[in-house]
Amino acid sequence: MSAAGTAVWFARHESRLVWRDWLSMITAGRRERLRKVVIGIAAFFAFMHVVAAWMVGRYADVAIDKQTLVAVTATVLLSWLLMISQAMESVTRAFYARSDLDLILASPVASDRLFGVRIATVALATTMMALPLAAPFIDMLIVRGGWRWFGAYGLIVAMGCAATTLAVALTVALFRVLGATWTRFVAQVVAAVIGAAFVIGLQVAAILSYGTISRVAVLRSDTLLALAPELDSVLWWPARAALGDGLALACLLAASLILLAAAILFAAPRFGDYVIAAAGADNSSSVGARRSTAFRGKSTPRGTLRRKEWVLLRRDRWLMSQSLMQLLYLLPPALMLWRSFGQGSGTLQLLVPVLVMAAGQLAGGLAWLAISGEDAPDLVATAPVPAGFILRAKIEAVLGAVAIIFAPFLIALAVASPWHGFVAGGGIAVAAAAATAVQFWFRSQARRSQFRRRQVSSRLATFAEAFSSIGWAATAAVAAASFWLAIAPAVLTLLVLGGAWAMSPRPRDA
Amino acid sequence: MAQPFALDIRGLVKRFERPAVDGLDLAVRTGEFYALVGPNGAGKTTTLRMIAGLLRPDAGAIRIGGIDALANPVAAKRIVAWISDEPMIYDKLTPREYLEFVRGLWSVEPALAAARASELLDWLGLAPHADQRCEGFSKGMRQKVALAGALVHDPQVIILDEPLTGLDAGSARQVKTVLRERTRAGGTIVMTTHILEVAERMADRIGIIAHGRLIAEGTLDELRTQAGTKANAQTRDAGSLEETFLALVAAPLQAA
């Protein structure tokens, strides 16, 4: 038994919290589901091994040449950027969202031990998030190509440590440069941009160089191979470590662990100050606000509710960044639209499903905020307007926001090709309406600040929303080529939505 | 002609796993300050939420200002305001914007509501913060914003669920003053509270609820008589609402 207040004691405390949080997340708070969840995960894991065998099995005995090193390095880099994004999210949350920080900072124990443990926990969590995703692929490469592929596991540990180190350094730098008020917002944006940058960068390069949105085109290009460094370059070490080079792996592991230890030693003693600064961040933003005219003038209750939704979304930087982040992925299609303007409709076909998918996802997030994320539900419920009226106003607010965001894309698309514009417009409307309907069926009262946890509250709603967006995107993609062929994916999507409606909880009360 | 009862409840029933409200009858006169007290889980909040239209009863009738609140909820809501113990306001709106939002929901004439809002903000000491967002406000300030929101549409009946919980002495006094003024102006107030001293000092009549039923009702003197505690008036606390309450509640609890 470790003494209270020591690093080991904090580590036990943290691991217990993380374990229970994770357990609650995968079982949606119902422990009796655990057996089913474990069986489900095992089945999914087995299925992923089959998929991995089909996808990467043929590369198990691949020769180490430039083409291989470029492909593996690109995969490692993409994964690492996603890990950095994940680690930044976790570190930012450690500053802003842990309710136990007041208790710990007010206690007589040295808080730097806790923050040291917490940084190590972020590294562990980041690694543990990546391992299950990578494991089927690594396992199948081991089965087909031998134990040399086992090094890939070590590389993931090194990547997790290095990603956490960079995330801590970036967050601390943001605190120092921007202060507490802006750090959360900017860190969220930076995390999302880092996560998306590589994919978007490859797509942009592919569009500009080859006129296609496929990022593989860039990775296989002669230009890139010509620019790539020689085989003995240090830049290939991560790829070499994944391919079984023991020395490269040992060096990367040692370097990443030393960097993580340095980050803990440097940042942990300072975290207490950052947390205290972060706790006061919201207060400072309220001072000196000027007199607003947001609700001025005569307006119907429905208009008032619509305005309220838009004002609250506009003013909440964090929610705004969370909701609009997925629009980053619209950058490549926008670029492609611009590039292919007036060059026929062939390439425009690719844009239709991307727009429809993005609209569905955005509408799902906004609909949750409007329908479930109501901070004053009693006030709205006691207003002298029929319940249906309130709901209609909220749906109008969601669809209005989607319409404003997607209108420029649709207009440009319609000018380039009226048919594609028409199909994309219809797809956006249907996908947004379907995502809103799913959020309505699975509504449950929550604070807006719980936005991040909305996908945990109902797995079925999350699945239905995602499948709906994918289904309508597929329908629109097929419809852009042949209207009648689109009936099949449309019917399938409607069946899934019907199933979600049938399984949705029925409201118990008015 | 004014309705004799601002609030008239008959045979109200609400069951969750067990009956929360079990055949409750309650009548509150126009211009009256009525306090509903009772032990935890007695059904106070459930009753108030049904009056405010936030819960649908399983059985019974609710008339507010003569309007059947179950048959015509929108008309009933027009004359009612609801305030809970946890002030639900929008962090990203300023108090003035919050009042304008409420004004829009209740369709109050903008000029009239603006004048009323300014008056309320002054009255509750919120004027210096009227254009700051509510996100940094203390619990007391948030409760005052919620109270201003409840009054800006000039309701006939105000339903309050533990409105003084967590308020400091200054804020509590301001809220109590506003509520008193409201009844003087002809408004009706129905309030639950655990602070028996507040009920004793402020309420015209007090209802004691246990197991979802009204077990006693009246002025403090009438309740004392019902509890038979007047005889003990020699001791310091004898005859207080606390003693009366404990005497009245003990019997149903023992019977349960």
Instruction: Give the C-alpha separation, A351 to A471, whole Å.
Output: 15
B123 and chain A in contact, CB less than 8 A = no
Partner-chain contact B82 A378, CB within 8 Å: yes
**Lowest mean per-residue pLDDT among A344-348, A371-375, B87-91, B109-113:** A344-348
- Over residues A164-185, mean pLDDT: 84
Band of pLDDT at residue A276, cut at 50, 70 and 90: low
Least Cα separation, residue B135 to chain A (angstroms): 7
Identify the residue whose tokens are 């003197």. B221
Partner-chain contact B81 A382, CB within 8 Å: yes
Asked whether residue B235 carries a pLDDT value surpassing 60, the answer given is no
Nearest Cα residue to A87 out of A7, A168, A142: A168
A385 and chain B in contact, CB less than 8 A = yes
Which pLDDT value is given to residue A227? 79
Which pLDDT value is given to residue B237? 52
Asked whether residue A346 carries a pLDDT value surpassing 90, the answer given is no
Q: Quick one: three-class SS letters along A161-191?
A: HHHHHHHHHHHHHHHHHHCHHHHHHHHHHHH
CA end-to-end span of chain B, whole Å? Answer: 44
> Taking every pair of C-alpha atoms in chain A, what is the biggest distance, in angstroms?
75
B86 and chain A in contact, CB less than 8 A = no
At A227-272, the pLDDT tens digits run: 788 878 888 999 999 888 889 999 999 999 999 999 999 888 887 7
A220 and chain B in contact, CB less than 8 A = no
How many A-B residue pairs are in contact by the CB < 8 A criterion?
117
Instruction: Give the C-alpha separation, B67 to B71, whole Å.
Output: 8
At A453-471, the pLDDT tens digits run: 666 556 778 888 888 988 9
Residues in chain B closer than 8 A to A288 (CB atoms): 132
Partner-chain contact B136 A380, CB within 8 Å: no
> Looking at this protein, which amino acid is placed at residue B118?
S
Instruction: Give the C-alpha separation, B160 to B164, whole Å.
Output: 9
- Closest Cβ–Cβ partner in B88, B93, B105 for A301: B105
- Over residues A291-308, mean pLDDT: 78
Instruction: Give the C-alpha separation, A166 to A84, whole Å.
Output: 7
Asked whether residue A8 carries a pLDDT value surpassing 60, the answer given is yes
Residues in chain B closer than 8 A to A377 (CB atoms): 88
**CA distances from residue B122 to B95, B97, B126, B135 in whole angstroms, order as listed:** 12, 15, 6, 20
Partner-chain contact B75 A384, CB within 8 Å: yes
B247 and chain A in contact, CB less than 8 A = no
Say which residue, A505 or B141, is predicted with more confidence.
B141
Q: List, in sequence order, every residue forming a beta bridge with B22; answer none if it has no partner.
A: B13
% of chain A exceeding 70 in pLDDT: 81
Residues in chain A closer than 8 A to B133 (CB atoms): 285-286, 289, 315
Asked whether residue A4 carries a pLDDT value surpassing 70, the answer given is no
Band of pLDDT at residue B11, cut at 50, 70 and 90: very high
Residues in chain B closer than 8 A to A375 (CB atoms): 88-91
B135 and chain A in contact, CB less than 8 A = yes
- Closest Cβ–Cβ partner in A295, A376, A386 for B97: A295
Q: Which residues are within 8 A (CB) of B148 and not within 5 positions of it... i.e. 6 or more apart?
A: B95, B98, B99, B117, B120, B121, B124, B126
Residues in chain A closer than 8 A to B55 (CB atoms): 509-510
Which pLDDT value is given to residue B176? 85
Asked whether residue A342 carries a pLDDT value surpassing 60, the answer given is no
Residues 51-80 of chain B with CB under 8 A from chain A are 52-56, 74-78, 80
Band of pLDDT at residue A166, cut at 50, 70 and 90: very high
Band of pLDDT at residue A287, cut at 50, 70 and 90: very low
Which pLDDT value is given to residue B236? 46
A360 touches A475 (CB < 8 A): no
At A88-145, the pLDDT tens digits run: 888 887 766 655 666 666 666 677 888 888 899 899 989 988 888 889 999 998 988 8
- Chain B residue with CA closest to A298: the answer is B110
Which pLDDT value is given to residue A423? 92
Mean pLDDT value across chain B: 85
Which pLDDT value is given to residue B232? 55
Which of A283, A296, A317, A382 to mutate against chain B (most B CBs within 10 Å)?
A: A382
Partner-chain contact A509 B106, CB within 8 Å: no
Which of A379, A380, A509 to mutate against chain B (most B CBs within 10 Å)?
A: A379
Q: List, in sequence order, every residue forming a beta bridge with B8; answer none if it has no partner.
A: B27, B63
Which pLDDT value is given to residue B16? 83
Which pLDDT value is given to residue A1? 56
Residues 258-297 of chain A with CB under 8 A from chain B are 282-292, 294-297
Partner-chain contact A289 B133, CB within 8 Å: yes
Band of pLDDT at residue A312, cut at 50, 70 and 90: confident
Partner-chain contact B104 A288, CB within 8 Å: no
B124 touches B148 (CB < 8 A): yes
A377 and chain B in contact, CB less than 8 A = yes
Q: Which residues of B88-105 are buried (b: 16+ CB within 10 A; e: fewer)?
A: bbbbbbbbbbbbbbbbbb
Partner-chain contact A378 B88, CB within 8 Å: yes
% of chain B exceeding 90 in pLDDT: 32
